[in-house]
């Protein structure tokens, strides 16, 4: 259920001005409203796009979170790649990796 809560938070952040305002004013208090693991909470507070991606966060949600943090598009894409290098394969969600890091997918 935690992955759902993390993505629900990002969805609300992207869509609801009052959530964005609370995020800007008191991130920790806002995050208490969501059933997050300590690892998820820390990744959000630190703006660790790569970690959020590895934890299973949907890229469509992350691509709106990144500019909020001041992360340009190219850096956002690289942050996801770096997350996999640093934290290992995507653990959950639609991007879960079913291959090892050195295996090619579809010949690529």
pLDDT tens track of the chain, all 108 residues?
589 999 999 999 999 999 999 999 999 999 999 999 999 999 999 999 999 999 999 999 999 999 999 999 999 999 999 999 999 888 888 777 656 666 655 444
d(CA 23, CA 43) in angstroms, rounded, equals: 14
- At which residue do the structure tokens 């806002």 appear? 30
C-beta of residue 83 within 8 angstroms of C-beta of residue 54? yes
Domains and CATH numbers, the chain: 2-87 (1.10.700.10)
Query: At residue 96, what are phi and psi to the nearest 5 degrees?
Result: -50, 130
pTM for the whole structure: 0.85
C-beta of residue 36 within 8 angstroms of C-beta of residue 2? yes
């Amino acid at each position: 259920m935690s992955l759902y809560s993390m993505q629900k938070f990002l969805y609300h952040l992207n869509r609801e001005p009052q959530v964005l305002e609370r995020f800007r004013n008191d991130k920790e208090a806002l995050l208490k409203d969501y059933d997050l693991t300590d690892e998820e909470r820390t990744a959000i507070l630190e703006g660790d796009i790569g970690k959020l991606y590895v934890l299973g966060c949907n890229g469509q949600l992350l691509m709106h979170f990144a500019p909020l943090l001041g992360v340009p598009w190219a850096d956002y894409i690289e942050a996801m790649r770096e997350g996999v290098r640093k934290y290992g394969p995507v653990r959950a969600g639609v991007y879960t990796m079913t291959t090892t890091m050195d295996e090619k997918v579809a010949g690529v």
